[in-house]
Structure 1
Amino acid sequence: MSEPSSPTRPDHYLAALQQSGNVISALTAYDYPTARLLDEAGIDILLVGDSLGMVVLGYQDTVDVTLNDMVRHTGAVARGSKRALIVSDLPAGSYDDAGTAVASGRELMDAGAHCVKLEGGEEVAPQIEALIAAGIPVVGHLGMLPQHVREEGGYKKKGLTEDEAQRIINDAKLLEQLGVCAIVLESVKGNTAGRVREAITIPTIGIGSGEDCDGQIRVTHDLTGMFPWFRPAFAEQYADIATDISKSATNYIDALAKMRP
């Protein structure tokens, strides 16, 4: 576990984590008790991810998550966290242009986020420039972009060809030049993720992108076995909370049945 500076300066905080030599730890959080537990455990970063669309709201993917959803859940996480960096996703449709991105980013920051995350490279450069100019710190997201899963026809590994790998590397360099604090690499081929890390100085945080990143992020529901209906192949599971909940419910039902003769 690292001991970085205050998360109110995300760039300094993330740089300190990177320079510590430890792997940066990040997990998703969507509510007060989870955020508080993870924060007290010493997690470096809490991501209020639009993955809540699937593991909390029951949607098929992240596309239908709204800005109001993200604001509500960001507020809950902020009330539960005292030390971790809180990163909130800008959901699909909330950053279609620079002005909309800034307005959406301010709502998330007002709810308690320390910085916002949005998907894409060169195509969202104007939005990133506007956010940073407005004083809203930004984390980038390259590789597989969940908000585009419908148009891509599924979740697909990225960086498999040299052309695709070079596009990711070029986008990472551009995002660094624009001033993002870190870049999440999702479902990027391992050696491509390593090349990205070598090409930039800001932290890379991987999910399904191998070990050659400065940090790793996972969905807490995968880590704890809270969502048993699907778990990505790369996601470690260290607990089986779903089974414990089911057993608690059946034990409660059995206890109630014994209350009447």
Structure 2
Amino acid sequence: MTTLSTLRKYKKEGKKFSCLTCYDAMFARMMENAKIDTILIGDSLGMVVQGHDSTIPVTVDDMVYHTSNVARSNDHALILADLPFMSYTTLEDAIVNSRRLMQAGAHVVKLEGGAELCEIVSTLAKVGTPTCVHLGLTPQSVNVFGGYTIQGKTEDKAQKLIDDAKAVVEAGAAMLVLEVVPSDVGKRVTEAVDVPVIGIGAGADTDGQVLVMHDMLGVTHGRVARFVHDFLSDERNQSRSVEAAFALFHQAVQEGSYPSVENQFLI
């Protein structure tokens, strides 16, 4: 079973680890067979499962339901689950809703923001709830950003990301997710903290890599993000099976062939 201790050990050894989103029991079992290290029950389900145009409509009940589905069929991966939009605006809400996700089977709860989350992160750590803080492009704040845009492009903004990362880790965050930043910023954030950092569009130097399952299987519609690679159609996936695609992703992350230069933002 992959644990936080496992991931901290990987970081010290320079061993990369894999993470995929998952929302149901069948795919969770396939990910276990493929040895995926960590599973994220992401509020991305709002788009890929429910058909919304953002993550904002997702509720805590939705997250509890899908977390339970995954947890029942997983004996291998560390499970992260998102606290959805506006479910942790107060300390009381954060505690109540984190408890629900942990009781549903999550090992770590993920929340989006920066240094302003320190009190919540610290309190949850004290009561035995590990947190993963999502920095960079945070989808729940897409209306603030004005779209899905690259974060940390200037030195001031890059330093703000680094400062936020250090602050939440000092407060007790067990992990970080860093999304859509230039590769050099991903490297700097990863080196600035002693906890595992999972990247998505954050370059090749983060400790782990995560993709939305539907994206890496090539079944999403519309514009495909630069950091996405279709592992189902990859020529190395000779069986063209979903489980083989998961295994290929895991292998590519471990050996460093994903993300390639073409998948990175080199601003």
- TM-score scaled to structure 1, two decimals? 0.86
Unmatched 5+ residue regions in structure 2? 234-239, 241-267
Q: Find the counterpart in structure 1 of residue 121 from structure 2.
A: 128
Q: Find the counterpart in structure 2 of residue 256 from structure 1.
A: none
Q: Find the counterpart in structure 2 of residue 112 from structure 1.
A: 105
One-letter amino acid matched to 1:225: G
Looking at both structures, which has the greater relative contact order when contacts are Cα pairs under 8 Å and sequence separation is at least 6?
Answer: 2
The residue matched to 2:72 in structure 1 has which SS?
Answer: helix
- TM-score scaled to structure 2, two decimals? 0.84
How do 1:149-164 and structure 2 match up within 5 A?
149-164=142-157
Is the counterpart of residue 34 in structure 1 residue 21 in structure 2? no
The residue matched to 1:33 in structure 2 has which SS?
Answer: helix
- 4+ residue segments displaced more than 3 Å: none
**Aligned-CA RMSD value:** 1.4
How do 1:64-79 and structure 2 match up within 5 A?
64-79=57-72
Distance of 2:14 and 2:163 partners within structure 1: 25
The residue matched to 2:177 in structure 1 has which SS?
Answer: strand
Question: Do the aligned residues in 1 keep the contact of 2:18 with 2:209 (CA within 8 Å)?
Answer: yes
How do 1:183-194 and structure 2 match up within 5 A?
183-194=176-187
From 224, 238, 241, the equivalent of 2:231 is 238
One-letter amino acid matched to 1:206: G
Q: Find the counterpart in structure 2 of residue 141 from structure 1.
A: 134
Question: Do the aligned residues in 2 keep the contact of 1:205 with 1:217 (CA within 8 Å)?
Answer: yes
Distance of 1:20 and 1:236 partners within structure 2: 26
One-letter amino acid matched to 1:111: A
User: 1:112 and 1:184, CA in 2 relative to 1: closer, same or farther beyond 3 A?
Assistant: same
One-letter amino acid matched to 2:14: G
One-letter amino acid matched to 2:25: Y
Distance of 2:71 and 2:10 partners within structure 1: 20
Distance of 2:7 and 2:93 partners within structure 1: 26
Distance of 1:21 and 1:123 partners within structure 2: 30
Offset at residue 230 of structure 1 (A) = 4.1
From 203, 217, 227, the equivalent of 1:224 is 217
The number of equivalent residue pairs is 234
